[in-house]
Structure 1
Amino acid sequence: MPSQPLRQPGRAAVAFVFVTVMLDMLALGVMAPVLPKLIVGFEGGDMERAAAITGLFGFAWAAMQFLASPVLGALSDRFGRRPVILLSNLGLGLDYVLMALAPNLAWLFVGRLVSGITASSFATASAYIADVTPPEQRAAKFGLLGAAFGIGFIGGPALGGLLGGIDLRLPFWIAAALSLANAAYGLLILPESLPPERRARFTWKGANAFGSMALLRSQPALFGLAAASVLMYLAHESLPSMYVLYVMQRYGWDAAAVGLSLAVIGVGSMVVSVALVGPAVARLGERRAMAAGLACGAAGFALFALAPVGWAFLAAIPLISLWGLTGPALQALMSRRVGADEQGRLQGALGGLRGITGMVGPVLFTQAFAVGIAPAIGLGAPGLPYALAAVFLALALVLGWRVTRSGRPEAAPLPAIPPG
């Protein structure tokens, strides 16, 4: 049966969950500009080998997300959200200390594996919000978590580049300080959201990455929405894996233009998450908000693929930003279909699906790009990766709309809830 909110924690507790997600992404982002340089240094300047190892690091991190997210979600259903969130913050901070001190590539790789495990707290943070928020308000709150994700995604690499110019190890120390300070603050102000009487029994069969998918298969509508989510996550992988290569190859943009355009995408997505998700769900309902976001995303990626010049490519960014309506609406639709003692497993399973797409997506889209521009094949279609992303979102739209057509009706939309 659908879960009901347990109690409203103080504003400080909800703000802490928001800051936790933001700092997790900020801490990860600050490493982005310096981690490849450290790898190059450990490999004696061998760029070819360093590139291969960097790809291995990325794959390993996504694999740890796939394995750890369902386990952490199930643990939070059993022991509560608070200890899992706090221990994740503590573990992440200590792991950054390990990477800051890493004397060789092997230790750096171990640190990256641990980072993939401890950075899986987004699932538990989402479950915390589901615990304390009425179902009709969840999409707006999930949108705020998405905004926190975006702030960290934008600010992290910029901060990392600045700090890395001083010392390549400094970003790791700053990331460690942020995570440890957040854990200490949460120890003081974060209340538990899931009381003992609503907790579930923990079993490894249900918590492992494959067993957790049984929850997603428990209802046809839930399974269909999860499949739509996979298509959405997969389409999203086209941005980090292909964006820089694509705009440099097709439009000849320099690093400054690439960075500015990525910042515009990030800001646009945050504006949608903070200011538009709540009103859109209040006016349209979760199902139609999901569909509107997917339609905008599919149109935006189609324009990315077809745009012959840079200004036409930039014109698609507002549509890509409006795609941000989809994630919170999808999460809210799925959270309605599980009980209070299953919110952690649900969010953990979704985190596992993100891990899978994080492993598959970069390979899929880079290979599509290689095929699209290969002279021997002669397609002359550099936009092939984004055409593929558009197809994925169109399929997600059809699937998501069909599986919710005759499912449990939504609650009547209510006025938007102000952030905070």
Structure 2
Amino acid sequence: MRPEGKTTTDAVSSQANVTDQQKRTKIIYIVYLIAALDITWMFLQFSVTPYLAKKLGFDTLWFGYLQTTVGVIQLLGGPMFGRFADLFGARVALSLACSSTVVFFLLLAIADHPAMLFIQKLPTIFMHVIPASQMVVADLSAPEKRADALSKLGLCFGIGMIAGSTLGGHLNTRYGETFTACCGAAGSAFSLLLVLKFIPKTTKTQSSRTNTDSENKSKSVFNLGEITRLMKFPGVTQTFVVKVIAGLPSGIFQVMFSIIALEFFKLEPQQNGNLMAYFGIVQMVIQGGVIGRLTGRYSESSLLLLSIAISSLVGLALAYMQNVFHFCIIVIPMMFSLSVFNVITDSILTKSVPSSDTGTMLGLCASVQSLLRTVGPTAGGFLYVNYGLSSIGLIQFVVNVAVFVFLLQHRLKKSA
């Protein structure tokens, strides 16, 4: 028979665990809302920048340079921001990211010269709302449910894509670029208020904080050794290299899409907004209803292979695409492969490092996307102008087939 005091203690402990779990769930839902709003404002911006750049005299090559500038700035900022989030906590990190987004939109609203479009990109060094949101979700979710929890951020991405593209297209068509940018600034300010009201100072576990606080506080945000140290954990380097190489061709297409929509598909702002909204619907279905079920049934390594195989076929389809209807069909496997690839690689990488370093790891993951935006526009602009859209698709096909064969051979050697 159990002592009465122990039974009471267990009941209190159980109640505390339930309360703590409810609190964690509430914070995660708030973070999902903040992420959805951030994506909304970003896609609002995508309805402004290409058309404003064209009005200011940018051609395809110069627009590529503009996108490359963003990539370089965020490439430098991503790992440092992740380290900053680990050191100073979720609330400070998200506040900095949202404040930078407000400044970004205000500068966009007053941009009236080509140079201003480059200056307007400077705040993007701190605009890492999604990596900070991923850190919070990774910290507060159980390891076995992490891929599913991270995939829900992709659902938020789909919601934001639909809302931002539709809203941005209508606002830009009816009221112009300046008014649309001001709406983005106001929305980002609202996101900042949500952060200050609901996000705790830190989301790290107590044991993780106790073990790392004293050493972390003495280390700089700019400590490159602390950032690159994560590459020494088992499996991290290989997954990271795969993330870069397999993601590069599809990244080139993504950063060039605004130009492809404008020149290849000849879309008006509102039509472009509707197409982006369609992307969002597809992504919502995949992230909300498909990925969670797949991660529950299949291993992460199997899903990674599947996503790369499908991505290679998508590249082949893009090479022979003729019109926007063809593209609408291709979007479904494209969004599936991209969603699974990003969720699975992020999940593998965050599980491979201590919980005290999830922010830094996700900052490095964000820097991969920034690297793609750095090389992508220049490489994509060169390929598109000289060899046409088909060249981008064929490169995606060849690269992903090579990565698939490498991973398959590696897996067979391990199982042998």
Aligned to 1:276: 290
Query: Which of 118, 123, 144 is the equivalent residue of 1:136?
Result: 144
Query: For residues 370-406 of structure 1, what are the alpha-carbon distances to aligned partners after superposition, in whole Å with 9 as ceiling and x for unaligned?
Result: 4434xxxxxxxx5221121123333343445566778
Following the alignment from structure 1 to structure 2, what is the Cα–Cα distance between the partners of residues 213 and 236? 26
Once superposed, what is the RMSD of the aligned Cα atoms? 3.1
Q: Conserved in 1, the CA contact under 8 Å of 2:102 and 2:185?
A: yes
Q: CA deviation at 1:336?
A: 1.2
Q: Which amino acid aligns with 1:339?
A: P
Question: What secondary structure, in the 3-state scheme, does the structure 2 residue paired with 1:144 have?
Answer: helix
Q: Is structure 2 residue 383 aligned with structure 1 residue 368? A: yes
Question: What secondary structure, in the 3-state scheme, does the structure 2 residue paired with 1:119 have?
Answer: coil
Query: Which of 360, 365, 379 is the equivalent residue of 1:350?
Result: 365
Q: Is structure 2 residue 392 aligned with structure 1 residue 385? A: yes
Q: Conserved in 2, the CA contact under 8 Å of 1:228 and 1:397?
A: no
Structure 2 unaligned regions, length at least 5: 1-19
Aligned to 1:394: 401
Q: Conserved in 2, the CA contact under 8 Å of 1:147 and 1:269?
A: yes
Query: Which of 158, 170, 173 is the equivalent residue of 2:182?
Result: 173
Query: For residues 293-339 of structure 1, what are the alpha-carbon distances to aligned partners after superposition, in whole Å with 9 as ceiling and x for unaligned?
Result: 22222222222224567765544333223212221111111111100
Aligned to 2:374: 359
Q: Which amino acid aligns with 1:297?
A: S
Q: Which amino acid aligns with 2:44?
A: V
Change over 3 Å in CA distance of 1:282–1:370 after alignment to 2: same
Query: For residues 91-130 of structure 1, what are the alpha-carbon distances to aligned partners after superposition, in whole Å with 9 as ceiling and x for unaligned?
Result: 322442344345655455333211x123223222111111
Following the alignment from structure 1 to structure 2, what is the Cα–Cα distance between the partners of residues 372 and 311? 22
Q: Conserved in 2, the CA contact under 8 Å of 1:69 and 1:117?
A: yes
Change over 3 Å in CA distance of 1:267–1:394 after alignment to 2: farther
Query: Which of 332, 350, 364 is the equivalent residue of 1:318?
Result: 332
Following the alignment from structure 1 to structure 2, what is the Cα–Cα distance between the partners of residues 112 and 349? 20
Aligned to 1:57: 66
Question: What secondary structure, in the 3-state scheme, does the structure 2 residue paired with 1:65 have?
Answer: helix
Aligned to 1:124: 132
Following the alignment from structure 1 to structure 2, what is the Cα–Cα distance between the partners of residues 56 and 307? 26
Q: CA deviation at 1:278?
A: 0.9
Change over 3 Å in CA distance of 1:203–1:385 after alignment to 2: farther
Which range moves more in the overlay, 125-134 or 232-241? Answer: 232-241
Change over 3 Å in CA distance of 1:153–1:297 after alignment to 2: same
Q: Which amino acid aligns with 1:366?
A: G
Q: Which amino acid aligns with 2:367?
A: G
Aligned to 2:239: 225
Change over 3 Å in CA distance of 1:190–1:320 after alignment to 2: same
Q: Conserved in 2, the CA contact under 8 Å of 1:221 and 1:403?
A: no
Q: CA deviation at 1:84?
A: 0.6
Following the alignment from structure 1 to structure 2, what is the Cα–Cα distance between the partners of residues 88 and 28? 13
Which range moves more in the overlay, 124-133 or 93-102? Answer: 93-102
Aligned to 1:71: 80
Q: Which amino acid aligns with 2:377?
A: P
Q: CA deviation at 1:203?
A: 7.4
Change over 3 Å in CA distance of 1:229–1:258 after alignment to 2: same
Q: CA deviation at 1:267?
A: 2.0
Following the alignment from structure 1 to structure 2, what is the Cα–Cα distance between the partners of residues 39 and 249? 14
Q: Conserved in 2, the CA contact under 8 Å of 1:72 and 1:121?
A: no
Q: CA deviation at 1:21?
A: 2.1
Q: Conserved in 1, the CA contact under 8 Å of 2:47 and 2:273?
A: no
Q: Conserved in 1, the CA contact under 8 Å of 2:249 and 2:392?
A: no
Aligned to 2:251: 237
Change over 3 Å in CA distance of 1:259–1:24 after alignment to 2: closer
Change over 3 Å in CA distance of 1:342–1:400 after alignment to 2: farther
Aligned to 2:203: 193
Q: Is structure 2 residue 163 aligned with structure 1 residue 155? A: yes
Q: Which amino acid aligns with 1:346?
A: M
Q: CA deviation at 1:245?
A: 6.0
Q: CA deviation at 1:212?
A: 6.3
Aligned to 1:31: 45
Aligned to 2:3: none
Q: Is structure 2 residue 104 aligned with structure 1 residue 89? A: no
Aligned to 1:333: 348
Q: Which amino acid aligns with 1:229?
A: K
Change over 3 Å in CA distance of 1:121–1:396 after alignment to 2: farther
Aligned length: 385
Q: Is structure 2 residue 312 aligned with structure 1 residue 301? A: no
Q: Conserved in 2, the CA contact under 8 Å of 1:290 and 1:327?
A: no
Which range moves more in the overlay, 78-87 or 301-310? Answer: 301-310
Question: What secondary structure, in the 3-state scheme, does the structure 2 residue paired with 1:193 have?
Answer: coil
Following the alignment from structure 2 to structure 1, what is the Cα–Cα distance between the partners of residues 32 and 130? 10
Q: Which amino acid aligns with 2:92?
A: P
Give the TM-score normalised by structure 1.
0.80
More helix, by proportion: 2
